Structure 1
Amino acid sequence: MNRRTTLKGLAAGSIGLLAFGYWAKEAGIFTDDLPATLFSTSEQTTLSAITDTIIPKGDAIGALDVGTDKFLEKLLEKCYETDVQEKVKNQLFTLESSANNLYSTSFSNCTQTERESLLITLSTSKNEEEKEFFDLMKSQTIRGFRTSKSVMLDYLKHEIAPGRYNGCVDVNS
């Protein structure tokens, strides 16, 4: 084996990869920009406020501490159909306008009791879309919170499979 030839090949390959990366970035194939999300900044803030209202931070961790709001954003963006996404966006707008009409402030700036009253109004609404929106937000917030790593390991004491094996255990017969 010829070491000199191998080193020349590795150097040429490394230089080629660096040049390709530079070229791809200049050509616009790779960008440093974050990908656009489905929700605007105000809608993201409202989603965060909803998750914080459903599972607020108390003596223990809350929904925002484990990133449930980000989970909801990605779940709604990647896993739901376009019609459901539009219904959620419409209900977020309706919730914001209800908060502005009743309390003269945005939903995220309302107090905890004001946010709770607005969400309870949605849960008991005769409008089917409002009720479905509340049920979706509540169920997926709870799901996102309960399946987060810190809740599963620290609070629920979940053991990752296969668990323990105690091969030499005395059995009382």
Structure 2
Amino acid sequence: MNRRESLKMLMAASGGLLALPAWAGQWHVDDLATHASSFVAAEQAMLAAVVDTILPQGVVVGGLSVGVDKFLQKLFDHCYDATVQANIKTQLAKLEASASAKYGQPFSACAQYEREALLMAFAHSADASEKEFFTLVKAETIRGFSTSREVMTNYLEYKTAPGHYYGCVDVNA
């Protein structure tokens, strides 16, 4: 065995172990906020209002409190192609325009039942792009909420390694 090579490997492993806590820490909603989104501020606010309409703040937790709006921005930017992103942005603008036309105020300022009515109009629309927008945003909002860390651990009681290990147990024969 070559002692120099062994010392080099030992030093590299030690450096890796020192750096481990820096990159293996848990992520939080604040980590998602640093993402440079392709959505402008108005579109981000609209997306947050849509998330709040689909999953409003209830007794315990809502879609905005676990960061589903930030999750959707990152998901749409990284996982969907430009045509889907363009359709989302177009439909958000249409949703804002229909809220202004029907209720005389922006979508985010409308009451919960008014926002629900506007979204249900998109869900039952004859226009395929509006229906696709609603279906995609609703599905991804629910997925983002149900797979968030807070919901998984606190409400769905998800455990990474289920069961418990009992190391030294007397065995009665």
Same fold judged by TM-score > 0.5? yes
Q: 1:111 to 1:160 in 2, by over 3 A?
A: same
C-alpha distance in 1, partners of 2:143/2:86?
22
1:96-116 CA-partner distances (Å, limit 9, x unpaired):
100010011111111101000
Relative to structure 1, the CA distance from residue 62 to residue 35 in structure 2 (aligned partners, 3 Å threshold; closer, same or farther) is closer
What TM-score do you get using the length of structure 2 for normalisation? 0.75
Task: Please name the residue that 1:82 is paired with.
Answer: 82
- In the alignment, what sits opposite 1:132? 132
Q: Which runs of 5+ in 1 are unaligned?
A: 1-33
In structure 1, distance between residues paired with 2:41 and 2:163: 42
Distance 1:35 1:70, change over 3 A: closer
What amino acid does structure 1 have at the position aligned with 2:57?
K
Deviations 1:70-99 (A, max 9, x none): 000100011100011001010001001000
**2:35, 2:137 → 1: CA distance?**
24
TM-score, structure 1 normalization? 0.75
Q: What's the counterpart of residue 17 of structure 2?
A: none
Is 1:53 the counterpart of 2:53? The answer is yes
**Post-superposition CA distance 1:118-147 (Å, at most 9, x none):** 000011111111000000010000000001
Q: Give the corresponding residue for 1:145.
A: 145
SS of corresponding position for 1:158: coil
Structure 2: distance between partners of 1:71 and 1:157? 21
Match of 2:63 in 1: 63
Q: Gaps (5+ residues) in structure 2?
A: 1-33
In structure 2, relative to structure 1, the CA distance for the partners of 1:100 and 1:152 (3 Å cut) is same
Q: 1:144 to 1:80 in 2, by over 3 A?
A: same
- Root mean square deviation of aligned Cα: 2.0
Larger radius of gyration: 1
How many Å separate the matches in 2 of 1:36 and 1:49?
A: 20
Q: Within the alignment, does 1:112 sit opposite 2:140 as a pair?
A: no
1:90 is matched by which residue type in structure 2?
A: T
